[in-house]
């Protein structure tokens, strides 16, 4: 059968061994698309734990990648002065690179973002994290392998063409493969399926009028600072009331920090969730300002420290999403948050922000007296939220796992970052790249997580 001949020829080509010259025309590209489609769907299925949700637009992405390859092959065929070879070049290139597709999907955990990052990772390994260096080395292997395959393909199908034309054709084919690979790696066929459970109903008007009493109750229970020693005060803020994951993280953070720093009586929780409107103050910009101003009156700014933990969705603006339908709540921008902290007069601060694009808060919050930790870079999303989730990836990795074992803040952050990176790579997600910005003045004032053994 002709298509079996093409598969055998492509397999030999992938091993850099060539014999014969089968020519299927468009059929080779159709066969290659079917195989890459099946391989991609199968690998992504096994990378995502159930329940899964099929993302059909990824098929369009793959189709577009093959379209780019065909256009590059058409240009390569013209460079060889063999326009009739366009289909064969595209089809056999895609077939021969099928093992490379498998190799990269199984080994490439966190590739460099740009060519500059790739060259930096190869020339200065210490400049990037281990996952990115690992990805850079695999990309180097893939680039060498792919170049040899495409070069031999050009020579195989146009043996009598000039060497310069064969080289030009190889360059066009390599460009088509590179563009197609880069476009297709930002999505996948399968993603975790979140259970869209509707939020419980509550009396919105009663919730609004209950805020003064709830705030006064929470603030009246705060323990005064102890002269001559560093006391830690904690504010935990859960912005989105549509998902229990943020409520869970606020309550766990309050418990974790309370136990680590003897701050159980110096902690205030602000939560947006229907199940807490009668017992806990809402997580709003106004309530946060009231709490911070009160803490500024209680603590000693020369020695005491504030841990502010905020978790919610984030936007590219950037801003932290604050919502509890049907209440019309204001969002919180980096400028808003800096203003609230400055007005409170709290000097020593640890701000932990778990949200998409939370790195966008760093320019406003960083200072010599502050440690700022975010779940993502300014231009990246973070993962793990959803109505079916208990904790976000960052919340689980940092609060639950890393802070249980680490002895200091940087160690906890690095442990969490490694865990998150592996989880994202396993699910073929773009790396969120959590951020850690430590001011010089606060470096020696950070409370230890526990005494090292």
CA distance 28 to 52: 32
Q: The tokens of 100 are what?
A: 């490379």
Q: Same domain, yes or no, for 181 and 271?
A: no
Helices 2-14, 98-107: axis angle to 10 degrees equals 50
- Is residue 197 in some structural domain? no
- Is residue 269 in some structural domain? yes
Checking if the pLDDT of 139 tops 70, the result is: yes
Q: Same domain, yes or no, for 184 and 283?
A: no
Checking if the pLDDT of 91 tops 90, the result is: no
Question: What CATH code is carried by the domain that includes residue 398?
Answer: 3.40.50.1460
Q: Same domain, yes or no, for 286 and 177?
A: no
Q: Same domain, yes or no, for 173 and 210?
A: no
Q: Same domain, yes or no, for 16 and 91?
A: yes
DSSP symbols for 41-58: HHHHHHHSPSSEEE-THH
- Is residue 171 in some structural domain? yes
Q: Average pLDDT, stretch 203-213? A: 93
pLDDT tens digits, residue range 235-284?
999 999 988 999 999 999 999 999 999 999 999 999 999 999 999 999 99
Residues with Cβ within 8 Å of residue 368, at least 6 apart in sequence: 439, 440, 441, 442
Q: Same domain, yes or no, for 253 and 316?
A: yes
Residue finishing a domain among 163, 192, 221: 192
Residue with tokens 């093959």, as numbered in its chain:
66
Residue finishing a domain among 192, 213, 233: 192
Q: Same domain, yes or no, for 296 and 396?
A: yes
Q: Same domain, yes or no, for 150 and 299?
A: no
- Is residue 90 in some structural domain? yes
Cα Rg of the chain (Å, integer): 28
Checking if the pLDDT of 168 tops 70, the result is: yes
Checking if the pLDDT of 452 tops 50, the result is: no
Question: Which is higher by pLDDT, 130 or 384?
Answer: 384
CB half-sphere exposure, 7, CA atoms < 13 A: 10
Q: Same domain, yes or no, for 75 and 178?
A: yes
Q: The tokens of 109 are what?
A: 């955990």
Q: How far apart are the first and last CA of the chain?
A: 69
| pLDDT range class, residue 160, cuts 50, 70, 90 | confident
pLDDT value of residue 324: 94
Residue with tokens 């400049």, as numbered in its chain:
127
Residues linked to residue 327 through DSSP beta bridges, in sequence order: 324
Q: What is the mean pLDDT of the chain?
A: 85
pLDDT tens digits, residue range 287-345?
999 999 999 999 999 999 999 999 999 999 899 999 999 999 999 999 999 999 999 99
Residue with tokens 């009246």, as numbered in its chain:
220
Residue finishing a domain among 192, 213, 246: 192
Single pTM value for the model:
0.60
Q: Which residue in 380, 399, 420 sits closest to 246, CA to CA?
A: 399
Residue with tokens 């970052």, as numbered in its chain:
417
Q: The tokens of 317 are what?
A: 């603006």
Give the H/E segment covering residue 348: strand 348-354
| pLDDT range class, residue 36, cuts 50, 70, 90 | confident
- Is residue 257 in some structural domain? yes
In the chain, the largest separation of any two C-alpha atoms, in whole Å, equals 88
CA distance 354 to 376: 8
- Is residue 147 in some structural domain? yes
- Is residue 450 in some structural domain? no
Q: Same domain, yes or no, for 357 and 327?
A: yes
Number of domains in the chain: 2
Q: Which residue in 295, 298, 323 sits closest to 308, CA to CA?
A: 295
The parent domain of residue 286 ranges over: 205-445
- Is residue 198 in some structural domain? no
The pair phi, psi for residue 439, each rounded to 5°, is: -75, 150
Q: Same domain, yes or no, for 185 and 277?
A: no
Q: Same domain, yes or no, for 81 and 169?
A: yes
């Amino acid at each position: 059968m002709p298509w079996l001949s093409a598969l055998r020829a492509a397999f030999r080509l992938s091993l850099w061994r060539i014999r014969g010259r089968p020519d299927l025309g468009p059929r080779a590209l159709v066969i290659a698309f079917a195989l890459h489609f099946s391989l991609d769907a199968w690998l992504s299925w096994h990378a995502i734990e159930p329940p899964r949700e099929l993302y059909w637009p990824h098929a369009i992405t793959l189709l577009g990648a093959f379209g780019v390859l065909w256009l590059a092959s058409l240009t390569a065929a013209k460079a060889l002065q063999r326009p009739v070879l366009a289909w064969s070049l595209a089809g056999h290139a895609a077939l021969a690179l099928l093992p490379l597709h498998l190799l990269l999907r199984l080994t490439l955990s966190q590739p460099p973002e740009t060519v500059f990052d790739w060259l930096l990772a190869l020339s200065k390994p210490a400049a990037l994290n281990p996952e990115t260096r690992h990805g850079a080395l695999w990309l180097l292997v893939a680039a060498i392998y792919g170049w040899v395959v495409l070069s031999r393909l050009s020579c195989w199908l146009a043996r009598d063409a000039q060497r310069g034309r064969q080289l030009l054709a190889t360059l066009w084919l390599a460009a088509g493969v590179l563009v197609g690979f880069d476009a297709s790696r930002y999505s996948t066929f399968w993603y975790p399926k979140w259970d869209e459970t509707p939020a419980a109903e509550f009396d919105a008007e009663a919730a609004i009028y209950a805020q003064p009493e709830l705030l006064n109750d929470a603030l009246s229970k705060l323990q005064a600072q102890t002269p001559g020693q560093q006391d830690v005060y904690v504010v935990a803020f859960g912005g989105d009331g549509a998902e229990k994951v943020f409520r869970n993280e606020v309550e766990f953070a309050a418990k974790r920090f309370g136990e680590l720093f003897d701050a159980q009586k110096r902690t205030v929780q602000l939560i947006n969730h229907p199940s807490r409107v009668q017992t806990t103050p809402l997580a709003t910009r106004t309530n946060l300002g009231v709490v911070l101003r009160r803490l500024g009156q209680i603590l000693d700014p020369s020695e005491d420290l504030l841990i502010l933990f905020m978790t919610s969705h984030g936007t590219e603006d950037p801003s932290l999403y604050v919502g509890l339908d049907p209440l019309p709540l204001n969002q919180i921008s980096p400028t808003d948050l800096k203003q609230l902290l400055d007005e409170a007069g709290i000097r020593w601060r640890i701000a932990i922000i778990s949200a998409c694009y939370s790195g966008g808060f760093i320019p406003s919050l960083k200072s010599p007296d502050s440690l700022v930790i975010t779940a993502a870079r300014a231009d990246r999303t973070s993962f793990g939220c959803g109505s079916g989730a208990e904790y976000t990836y960052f919340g689980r990795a940092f609060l639950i796992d890393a802070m249980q074992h680490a002895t200091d803040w940087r160690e906890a952050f690095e442990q969490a970052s490694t865990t998150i990176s592996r989880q994202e790579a396993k699910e073929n997600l773009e790396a969120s790249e959590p951020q850690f910005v430590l001011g010089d003045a606060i470096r020696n004032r950070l409370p230890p997580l526990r005494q090292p053994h």
